[in-house]
Amino acid sequence: MAEEIKKNTIKYHPRRLTDSTADLEGTAALEKLCFHQPWSASSLELLTKDGIGVGYLCEQNGDIVAYGGMLIAVDEGQITNIAVHPNRRGQGLGLAIVQALIKHAKAARLATITLEVRVSNTPAISLYRKVGFAEVGRRKGFYTKPTEDALIMELKLK
């Protein structure tokens, strides 16, 4: 990403997720740390296939500390997950990843980006609103462990 995200004098430069074993296994490990139903390394590989999906990640000292993915269908993006290592939350990494995905979507001339987020995940909802997403719906009982509704949020690019 050309723009630098700066917080507490730390600059984040998300880079594309690749189909390398290190990227896929490192991202899968972060998924396991952050989610009750994590994506596997083989599932994450979809995010490395042009025309299907894209992923971005941030590293520190060789470890993947944040990542986000987006599936692409025609002119729409669907953010799959944004994950930030629990010890690194609140430092701007999630924002850097979301901005990288938005920049990619704009370059790909997508019309919209959508996502689902747990209704209780107020930090994520705040971040999404900050970059322009708006609530457009709700999915009852969408999440499990625990069962919870999802907000459907959308960012119009065109």
**pLDDT-based confidence at 71, cuts 50/70/90?**
very high
Helical segments of 15-74, H only: 21-34, 41-44
Q: Reply yes or no on whether the pLDDT at 79 is more than 50.
A: yes
Q: How many helices and strands (H and E) does the chain possess?
A: 4, 9
- The catalytic residues are 116, 128
Write down the pLDDT at residue 145. 85
CA neighbor of 22 nearest in space, from 81, 52, 63, 68 = 63
Give the global pTM: 0.91
* Structural domains of the chain in order of their starting residue, each with its CATH number: 5-114 (3.40.630.30)
β-pairing, 63-73 vs 53-60, is: antiparallel
74's CB contacts (< 8 A; 6+ apart) are none
